[in-house]
Amino acid sequence: MKFWDFHTHQGQSSESIFNWDLSGEIPEGSFSVGLHPWFLDQNWEESIKLVEKLAKQNQGVLAIGECGFDRIKGPKIGIQKKAFQAQASLASQLEIPLILHCVKGHDLLVEYLKNEKNPPPIIWHGWNLKPELANQLLLFPVYFSFGKHLLIENSNASQWLKDCPQNKIFLETDDSNLPIAQIYQAASLILGLSEQDLSDLVQKNWNSISSRKIK
């Protein structure tokens, strides 16, 4: 059985989307690449050109990101918006998902989605906000990736996983050391789905929103 890990910082496996931060060598397997809002600097426009070139040439780039909005850490919101917009339009052009980092920026995402005619599929990673906020996003091509918060009973993540449309679910380890199998186990209990069915579900979810398929 395959346990795809849709967002991880912990090295690569054949079934993971490793979040590459543009340092060191280009990864060999599947990965995501983008500019994290924390690290946007004066050269971000140059760096985006590198991201664009790589994402176009290398089919191992399964997603753009993580990128997004952060009101706690990072440069001015104006810069964050521009960098997000550029990366979202790249993802849209390539027909691959964008992996979203969003801290206290729910309104910024909604503003973008209301104004954008052709948004890419956006996977909000590490979802752990109130179900009401998730509900507001259902009109849009927004998906939810769940991780370590599923191990906490009645966390926002655990509550939303129960009600979330099943075609919008993904699973991840992010920066934790947890085995991805543990996240699948927790999700399978919450959803009342076998691990095999869950594995099939998330794989199907990915392949229905991306031009770069997984097996």
- 144 closest CA partner among 129, 127, 167: 127
Least spacing, CB of residue 174 vs Zn ion, in Å:
5
The answer to the question of residue 70 lying near Zn ion (CB under 5 A) is: no
Closer by beta carbon to Zn ion, 101 or else 168: 101
Nearest residue to Zn ion by CB is 174
* Cα distances (angstroms) measured from residue 188 to each of 40, 97, 145, 183: 37, 24, 14, 8
Q: Work out the number of other CB atoms within 10 angstroms of the CB of residue 1.
A: 10
From 69-77, 112-120, 139-147, 166-174, span contacting Zn ion (CB under 5 A): 166-174
Are 19 and 66 in contact by the 8 Å Cβ rule? The answer is yes
**Token pair listed for 42:** 């004066």
Q: Which stretch binds Zn ion (CB under 5 A): 20-28, 77-85, 173-181, 184-192?
A: 173-181
Query: x/- contact string, 99-128, with Zn ion (CB under 5 A)?
Result: ------------------------------
Cβ distance to Zn ion smaller for residue 67 or 142: 67
* By CB under 5 A, residue 174 contacts Zn ion: yes
The answer to whether the beta carbons of residues 39 and 67 sit under 8 Å apart is no
Distance CA 78, CA 128 (A): 25
The minimum distance between CB 34 and Zn ion, in angstroms, equals 11
Binding site for Zn ion (CB under 5 A): 174
